[in-house]
Amino acid sequence: MTNFYVMTLFPEMIEACLGGSIIGRAREKGIISVNAVNIRDYTLDKHKKVDDYCYSGGAGMLMQPDPVCRCHEAICSEMGLPDGVKPRTVYVTPQGTRFTEQMAVDFSKEEYLIFLCGHYEGIDERALELVATDYVSIGDYVLTGGEMPACIMIDAISRLIPGVLNNEESAVGESFTDGLLEYPQYTRPPEYRGLRVPEILLSGDHAKIEQWKLEQALKRTYERRPEMYEEYLRTHKLPKKTILPDKKEGKL
Ligand code: ADE
C-alpha cells in the first residue's frame, strides 16, 4: 500500500484531480491512499494567516515556516513510523530536479510519500531545510502553485504500482518504459476520410508487424525527440534488417 500525503493550502484541488478515473478506483480498492492535508489548519495565528512579507523585499509573500513544520509533524506522527525515520518529503518547485519516469519508478517503491506544495513566492527556506528530502520540478515553466505538479507526479507514480492498472491499461511497452516513443496505433474502420490503416497491420504477419512497430517507434523518436533517439541507438542492439529513419528517407 502506498500512502500519499499532500500538504497544501488548496486541498480541494487534489481531490478534483485524483478523485476519479483510474486513481479514484485504486483508492477505492485500497491499493493507494491520497490524503490532502490543509496547511492552514496548523497555523496558531488567530486569523489563520500562513504567509508574510519576504525579508529580501520584493512584491510577493512567502509561506511562513511554522504551519508547514507543524503540519509535517502531524502527518509523520499519524504514520506511526519508528523514531528517527523520516518519510520522503518532496518539495514541489520549479527550482527542483526534473521529474522523469525513472524517478516515478523509484518513488513507487516507497510506502509513504509526502508532497509539499508551495504557493505565493514559495516557502521560508528553514521549513524546507527541516522537512524536505527531495526537490522536484515537472518541467521548465512556472505554474501558480505546486498542486497540479504534485497530482501529475502522484498519477505517474501510482500507475506503476501493481494492481493500479488492469491488463488493458498495462504500463509495459509504452513510451519511456523502453526508451522510445510509441508507434502510431489504429482501430476500425480500415479507411477513414481517405486515410488507410497501414496494410502491414492488416496482413496478419506478426513478425513483420513487430518489425514495423520498431521502425515506426524509431522514426517518431528521431523526428520528435532526437536526443532520445541517439541515446537509444547508443544503448540498444537493433535487428540487422532494421531500416533506420534517417537512412530510409534521406531527410526528415
Ligand atoms: N510550482 C510552480 N511551477 C512548478 C513546476 N514547473 N514544477 C513543480 N512545481 C512547480
* 115 CA to centre of ligand 1 in angstroms: 12
pLDDT value for 137 = 98
Instruction: List, for residues 153-191, the tens digit of each pLDDT value.
Output: 999 999 999 999 997 777 665 777 789 999 999 999 999
What is the C-alpha to C-alpha distance for residues 40 and 63, in angstroms, rounded to an integer?
Answer: 10
Q: What are phi and psi of 88, to 5 degrees?
A: -60, 130
d(CA 11, CA 7): 8
Between 142 and 249, the more confident residue is 142
Contacts of residue 193, Cβ cutoff 8 Å, sequence gap at least 6: none
Q: What is the pLDDT at residue 252?
A: 47
- Is the minimum distance from the CB of 92 to ligand 1 under 6 angstroms? yes
pLDDT confidence of residue 246: 77
What does DSSP say about strands 195-196 and 134-137: parallel, antiparallel, or unpaired?
unpaired
What is the rounded (10 degree) CA torsion for 137, 141, 142, 143?
Answer: -80
Top mutation candidate among 98, 115, 142, 144 for ligand 1, by most atoms within 8 Å of CB? 142
pLDDT digits (tens, 9 = 90+) for 46-56: 999 999 999 99
Q: What is the mean pLDDT of residues 185-209?
A: 98
**Which pLDDT score, from 0 to 100, does residue 168 have?**
72
pLDDT of residue 249: 57
pLDDT of residue 5: 98
Q: Tell me what pLDDT residue 133 has.
A: 98
Identify the residue with better confidence: 199 or 252.
Answer: 199
pLDDT of residue 126: 98
Q: Beta strands of the chain (E only): which ranges?
A: 2-8, 32-38, 51-53, 61-63, 88-98, 112-117, 134-137, 191-192, 195-196
Average pLDDT over residues 117-134: 95
Give the whole-angstrom CA distance, residue 139 versus residue 47: 35
More confident residue, 167 or 27: 27
Q: Is the pLDDT of residue 251 over 70?
A: no
Query: Ligand 1, residues 123, 138, 148: which to mutate, most atoms within 8 A of Cβ?
Result: 138
